[in-house]
Amino acid sequence: MALLLSYDLSIWLTHHCKAEAIHGEERGNLIKQAQNKGDNVNPIFKEILAELKKKSHVPIILPRDLGNKDEPAPLYARLESISPNEYRIIIGFSPDCEGGNACRWGTVSGEKNSNASGASGVKVLLSKGITGYFILGKCGAVCSDSRIIWFNGQYKYTIGIKAAKKSVLVAVANSAINDPN
């Protein structure tokens, strides 16, 4: 559908640009923007995006950046659970990861939540003036996810990455907030 939308928008822009006598680099930039509009989803989420949009009524917010630039292993997204009021995604090192510590990179979730006062953790400022709450993961024999939580209206969003620093999770959350799906 994104490809079809980009194609239709490209055709419109091509005709509009001719009618408005827009040429050269400006016309090329407009067409490139139209083609890339549906391309703001991190590729690991593309296989599950249609199901997310179909089955969950929670606005889908997925990070473009996963904080894995130094991680050589590929990551995969798998739906852990989905309903009209929530979605939970496991990000793992294998396509069949069920969330176990050995294969899990992190998690992404969104849920309908009327209790915005239930957040705890260190307050952090996120993009668009949103207040988030950071909770540091703990490491012993295994490491738990550090998490960042924020609210948007009646919805609660959480991103977790195994033992991640606050700066990494803030960047990941901001990539989701700035580039909603």
Range 23-50 average pLDDT = 62
Is the pLDDT at 26 greater than 60, yes or no?
no
Domain count, the chain: 2
The DSSP code for 101 is T
Question: Can you give the pLDDT at residue 10?
Answer: 37
Residues 82 and 117 in one domain: yes
Residues 106 and 27 in one domain: no
- Spatial neighbors of 51 by CB under 8 A, at least 6 apart, are 79, 82
Cα distance between residue 161 and residue 108, in whole Å: 9
Please give the mean pLDDT across all residues of the chain: 80
Type and span of the H or E element at 48? helix 46-55
Which of 116, 72, 168 lies closest to 160, judged by CA?
168
Is the pLDDT at 28 greater than 60, yes or no?
no
Residues 128 and 80 in one domain: yes
Residues 29 and 72 in one domain: no
Residues 95 and 59 in one domain: yes
Whether 107 and 88 have beta carbons less than 8 Å apart is answered as yes
Question: Can you give the pLDDT at residue 11?
Answer: 35
Ramachandran angles phi, psi of 43, nearest 5°: -55, -25
Residues 112 and 172 in one domain: yes
Residues 8 and 71 in one domain: no
Q: Where would I find the beta strands (DSSP E) of 28-144? A: 76-83, 86-92, 104-112, 122-125, 131-135
Residues 114 and 165 in one domain: yes
Which two structure tokens, joined as six digits, stand for 46? Answer: 């593309």
Question: Which of 2-16, 46-60, 126-140, 152-166 is predicted with the least confidence, judged by mean pLDDT?
Answer: 2-16
Question: Can you give the pLDDT at residue 149?
Answer: 95
Is the pLDDT at 165 greater than 70, yes or no?
yes
Range 78-97 average pLDDT = 95
Residues 30 and 47 in one domain: no
Identify the domain containing residue 27 by its residue range.
Answer: 2-36
First to last CA, the chain: 14
Residues 14 and 59 in one domain: no
Residues 133 and 64 in one domain: yes
Is the pLDDT at 168 greater than 60, yes or no?
yes
Range 126-148 average pLDDT = 94
Cα distance between residue 34 and residue 28, in whole Å: 10
Q: Tell me, yes or no, if the pTM score tops 0.85.
A: no
